[in-house]
Chains A and B, each alone.
Chain A
Amino acid sequence: MAKEVIMPALGMAQETGELLRWFVEEGATVKAGEPLMEVATDKVDETIVATASGVLAGVLAKAGDDVPVGQVIAYILAEGESVPAAKVSKKAPVESAPPPQEKAAPSPQPPSGSGAVTVSPVAARMAAEHGVDLAAIPAKGGRIQKEDVAAYLESQQSAAAPGKVLASPKARRLAEEKGVELSTINGSGPDGAVLAADVEAWQPAAVVQPLPTTVAAQAAGAEIPMSRGWQVMAQRLTESWTSVPHFYLVREVDAGALQVWRTQALARSDVKITVSDLLVKVTAVALSRHPRVNASWINGKIVGNPSVNLGLAVAVDDGLLVPVLHNAEGLGLREIAAQRIGLVERAQSGKLAMTDLSGGTFTISNLGMFGVDAFNAIVNPPQAAILAVGKIADRVVAVDGQPAVRPMLTLTLSCDHRVVDGARAARFLDELAGLIEDPLRALE
């Protein structure tokens, strides 16, 4: 088998050796123990003898080459042997050691391209400590000073901070599993770091964000944390559902006139008026004409309310809020729209005041925008009734004995039977339906 000739290690810390000369030419015969080559290290020049007898072949290093210790530089072949082909091709040509100036530690250099700018030693050290390229630092004077580096670092920090989300490894893993963007989660850990519990408590925002197409599987039996708001909602609605004797009146109304009204009102208004705003207006009118439906059940008594304070059910991240439009019977359409916009914004950003939430005498819940045709709402105590509004959809209806396609809207009125009976509620709903189908009746 071909005997390898390697660059020997002659010192403990030696990494390379310089080949000074071969004593034997390639193709010549050498005997074991005879001088083969001369090698120089930092300390000594040494003659290396052949470790086998044969023909020197496959020489890869020439005199003057600096070769890593242990690298094969030739072979000694016995009769009939050849240089191992695979090994020859693997060995890269021996390279000379890099010139010494490349090894030297880089010293602070003035920024390239601005030969006039120099750097103070402190600034150079600061820049090196923070891994900042000096060329990127603007110098106030002709020289980069400590203050320049500090200012640059500060600007970099404030620029970088918002993008960086602190989170524990477990929180990161859970967020990835749930498909949640970490930056959307409020962290409760040190420096606002997102912890596992924060990810577990995260709920998709009901209104602002579209629902995820797939629901990450909850671990069986795992508790989903509730916010304080959700707990209040759960408790209040349970109280209502278990103590208020509900009944429901359903009525289909033609929303054609409402849509025409909205188009005209929009054209005249600088505020974006919605169908909900029109419904608030006509409901307020209907309630002022049927004060019993605007009354409350308080401590076993029916209590009348002097004004119409209309609650609007608003979906928020953690449940349901019902901000109130106070004295709605006296408000014009643009005032209703402006107040409604403010209330919904404050509800969704969690900035509602107590006065925004209290004093409601009647509630409108509109799920039309979610494509719901009709639904039964739960009465919001101590109020007497709540109006559930579905979507406006084109339907085939009989008009004057002929089938016609009309934009129809289904209203469902849920009532507390302790305050209103079916007939009273029906008269109110009839008034409301009339106002929707012929809004001019509001002026009567």
Chain B
Amino acid sequence: MSSPNPTISHSVAAPGVRQLTFGQAINEAIAEEMRRDPLIFVVGEDVAEAGTPFKVLLGLVDEFGPERIIDSPISEAGIAGIGVGAAMTGMRPIVDIMFGDFTTLVMDQMVNQAAKIHYMSGGKLKVPMVLRTTMGASRRSAAQHSQSLHAWLSHVPGLKVAIPATPYDAKGLMKAAIRDENPVVIYEDKLSYPIKGPVPEEDYIIPLGVAEVKRTGEDITLVATSSMVYVALSAAEKLAEIGISAEVVDPRTTAPLDAETLIASAKKTSRVIVIDEGYQEYGVTGEMASVIADGAFYWLDAPVKRMGAMHVPIPFSPALEDRTIPTAEQVVEMAKMLCGRN
């Protein structure tokens, strides 16, 4: 990601609202919910004393003790199974999978168990668990620790998937996920943890399945998720300098997807680029582009374009890694082309 703007103006931003980092907002959301509900516990690798490698959960073990902030062995499938089982028996677990790349190990628990049990038990059982994990490249973490695989779990009915971009959204979506009676997966972008933004002190949630227009515009819509919201906002700034007014829409959740807001924006601007950090092929961008093309077809003046990660294993080499993820410059070029300004 090309140096994201560390601040973002938010609709709830008001004078006097304190600034928290994305990581602090997650921490606060979990802590507040754990104080409210003793059935909530966290299980994962290095979640207790270490507070995760990204220090997001730092301090929680001091307040809630090792019984509720549980360090597990390296055993993703096991802890996901513990989470599903605990949720079925009435607990509200938060399972921490350190890298999104490792969700490959929890697929059976999530796809065949968590997603299906409510349906297959005729509604007798439910799985109110949260699976926290990460996404995002550009940390020089190489091919096995840099992927954004949120498309995989978004594909499965029975799972909800949130991909917050801002501290405000991260806290609101995390609280909504914890209170949801269904399994919810939250993908947190690793580079977003230090990003600061306004987070009000009062209790609030953001309903799952509600997109937000992060910037209004007239000429082109940039649908962007997670880290790509900053890329899109930066591109919109550059486009404004050459007289192209770009609207930035953040779906905030991939499942359920707020198709209505995406289509309404597409109808308004008649041009759309969908930007997501996951692999472009068979990815989130393809689904969203299809939903938009279907719903706004007769309002579109250009083909709906997708921009995602390059179809390669994310390289370790910084010079190469930076070329695999969409940049603001690439978005600007694509937008100019769609607006006939090349």
Contact = CB atoms under 8 A, between A and B. Distances in A.
Interface string B269-302: 0100000000000000000000000000111111
A170 B340 contact: no
A222 to B, nearest CB: 13
Tell me the dominant secondary structure on chain A's binding face: helix
Interface stretch (A14-22, A188-196, A206-214, A296-304): A188-196
B298 A172 contact: yes
Contact of B299 (A173, A188, A197): A173
Contacts of B298: 169-170, 172-173
Interface in A280-310: none
A393 to B, nearest CB: 49
Interface in A133-189: 168-173, 188-189
A113 B299 CA distance: 50
A189 B341 CA distance: 11
Interface string B300-342: 1110000000000000000000000000000000000000100
Q: Per DSSP, are chain B's interface residues mostly helix, strand or loop, or mixed?
A: loop
Contacts of A168: 300-302
Contact of A188 (B270, B302, B340): B340
A20 to B, nearest CB: 37
Contacts of B297: 169
Contacts of B301: 168-171, 195-197
Contact of B340 (A169, A173, A189): A189
Size category of the A interface is 10 to 19
B244 to A, nearest CB: 14
A176 B302 CA distance: 18
A1 B299 CA distance: 55
A145 B85 CA distance: 67
A167 to B, nearest CB: 10
Contacts of B299: 169-170, 173
A278 B82 CA distance: 101
Interface in A182-234: 188-189, 195-197
A206 to B, nearest CB: 27
Interface in A252-266: none
A168 B297 CA distance: 9
A116 B298 CA distance: 51
Contacts of A172: 298
Contacts of A197: 301, 340
A171 B297 CA distance: 11
Nearest to B267: A170
Nearest to A194: B301
B308 to A, nearest CB: 22
A131 to B, nearest CB: 24
A170 B298 CA distance: 5
Interface of B: 270, 297-302, 340
Interface of A: 168-173, 188-189, 195-197
Given A170-B270, A172-B298, A196-B301, 15 more contacts: A168-B301, A169-B297, A169-B298, A169-B301, A170-B299, A170-B300, A171-B301, A188-B340, A189-B302, A189-B340, A195-B301, A195-B302, A196-B270, A197-B301, A197-B340
27 contacts: A168-B300, A168-B301, A168-B302, A169-B297, A169-B298, A169-B299, A169-B300, A169-B301, A170-B270, A170-B298, A170-B299, A170-B300, A170-B301, A171-B301, A172-B298, A173-B298, A173-B299, A188-B340, A189-B302, A189-B340, A195-B301, A195-B302, A195-B340, A196-B270, A196-B301, A197-B301, A197-B340
